[in-house]
Structure 1
Amino acid sequence: MFKHKTQKLALAASSMMAAVVLATASPVLAQGNACPKDGPDAPLALHADWIMDGWERREGDPDFVFTNKMARYYDLEDPAGVFYDNFAPGETQLFRNGVRYGANWEDLQNAARSIRHGLTDGYEQMVDDNVASTTLGFVGLIDRLDGEEIAFDGRSQLGWKCDGGAWKIRHELNYAWVVEPKEIASFLEQPKAK
């Protein structure tokens, strides 16, 4: 009889531990909305697309509206986060709202004939079930409508959160510096990333 009670207690304890594990498990896993860790929708691939497609501008493109073009990368309904870019136009380089951060770039984008990018080095990602961090190097050339050209070299680190099966940017640290256009020309001549 004592053995039978001990087995029942062990079974009850196991059930309680399983319930605790399930209750504290990642909400993403509990909901079955895991985000991809590799492939075209994984954080590092998204980071490259974010630069090469998201911020790219070709002559004749429609006006850049952040919420239209960048919804794939940012949570527009819950835009809280930390977004820093030393190249940000305007009076501030640090934003705590992704939508405000993105809208800050609209004038610069729309005052350009084209903005071309290339990827350089430093590709790295750390991915967990709920969060990820990615880094990469990039260059760009802004061809302004007023005729001025601005070439830059930069590094980017993005913090991602898994939200409903899709990665969204929550933290951004971008740093760029002006260079001579000839210094980055070879990177701009690469075929566009797919």
Structure 2
Amino acid sequence: MFLTPAAAAGAACATSGAESPLELHRDWIMEGWERREGDPAFVFGTKMQRYYDLKQTKGVFYDNFAPGKTQLFTDSARYGANWEDLQNAARSVRHGLTSGHDQLLDGKVASTTLGFVGRLERLNGEVLAFDGRSQLGWTCTDGAWKIRQELNYAWVVEPETIADVLGKGELAP
């Protein structure tokens, strides 16, 4: 069914299933930020458009692992473009989910939290492993949840400490 723009603006967002905020958060980590050797170039606006409103880009986006000198952004497009060089200089970027998953919903806004680990292998073979937590603030926009606020915090760990979690994307309690 095709919705006119006016009808779509009032469309409700999913509160359960694949398009609910917590499932989107899982996919954002496990699909959006993943990279495998041979993948096409990472272009934020193309790969991450499912998760971010790239027309209304104002928000708060913080990540202590953000490349460069800036960790806090107020524009999702600028935040995302900041990650392109890092992603494209990686042979692979793999993730796995740990614990701490939660979702708070109100018809127009939602908050989700996830625990995750990651392993980035640079083209030169250097490996960076990390453990992290992510909290995303979502708004219901035209019948789809979009990230408006983001707080990610990660710390470096030894790669072998997370090896058995990589690739696991189940939302276990």
Q: Which protein has the bigger strand share?
A: 2
- Which of 62, 68, 75 is residue 40 of structure 2 equivalent to? 62
Instruction: Give 4+ residue runs of structure 1 displaced > 2 Å after superposition.
Output: 28-32
Give 1:140's aligned residue: 118
Residue 34 (1) aligns with residue 7 (2)? no
Work out whether residues 18 and 24 of structure 2, in 8 Å CA contact, stay in contact via their aligned partners in 1.
Answer: yes
Task: Tell me how far apart the structure 1 counterparts of residues 141 and 9 of structure 2 sit (CA, whole Å).
Answer: 11
Give 1:117's aligned residue: 95
* Higher RCO by CA contacts (8 Å cutoff, separation 6 or greater): 2
Task: Tell me how far apart the structure 2 counterparts of residues 189 and 30 of structure 1 sit (CA, whole Å).
Answer: 35
Q: Structure 2 vs 1, CA of residues 37 and 29 (structure 1 numbering), >3 Å: closer, same or farther?
A: farther
SS in 2 for 1:50: helix
Q: Structure 2 vs 1, CA of residues 30 and 119 (structure 1 numbering), >3 Å: closer, same or farther?
A: closer
Task: Tell me how far apart the structure 2 counterparts of residues 92 and 84 of structure 1 sit (CA, whole Å).
Answer: 9
Q: Structure 2 vs 1, CA of residues 150 and 31 (structure 1 numbering), >3 Å: closer, same or farther?
A: closer
Give 2:142's aligned residue: 164
Task: Tell me how far apart the structure 2 counterparts of residues 188 and 76 of structure 1 sit (CA, whole Å).
Answer: 29
Give 1:8's aligned residue: none
Q: Structure 2 vs 1, CA of residues 38 and 148 (structure 1 numbering), >3 Å: closer, same or farther?
A: same
Instruction: Using the TM superposition, give the Cα deviation of residue 147 of structure 1 relative to its aligned residue in structure 2, in angstroms.
Output: 1.1
Alignment root-mean-square deviation, CA: 1.9
Instruction: Summarize deviations over 1:166-187 as a string: whole Å, max 9, x none.
Output: 0000000000000000110110
Question: Could you list the runs of 5+ residues in structure 1 that have no partner in the other structure?
Answer: 1-27
Aligned length: 166
Residue 71 (1) aligns with residue 46 (2)? no
Whichever of the two has the greater Rg, that structure is 1
Q: TM-score, normalised to structure 2's length?
A: 0.92
Q: TM-score, normalised to structure 1's length?
A: 0.82
Task: Tell me how far apart the structure 2 counterparts of residues 66 and 189 of structure 1 sit (CA, whole Å).
Answer: 22
Letter in 2 for 1:65: V
Q: How does 1:39-50 map to 2 (within 5 A)?
A: 39-50=17-28
Identity %: 68
Instruction: Using the TM superposition, give the Cα deviation of residue 30 of structure 1 relative to its aligned residue in structure 2, in angstroms.
Output: 10
Question: Could you list the runs of 5+ residues in structure 2 that have no partner in the other structure?
Answer: 1-5
- Which of 128, 131, 134 is residue 109 of structure 2 equivalent to? 131
Instruction: Using the TM superposition, give the Cα deviation of residue 126 of structure 1 relative to its aligned residue in structure 2, in angstroms.
Output: 0.1
Q: Structure 2 vs 1, CA of residues 36 and 97 (structure 1 numbering), >3 Å: closer, same or farther?
A: same
Give 2:80's aligned residue: 102
Q: Which protein has the bigger helix share?
A: 1
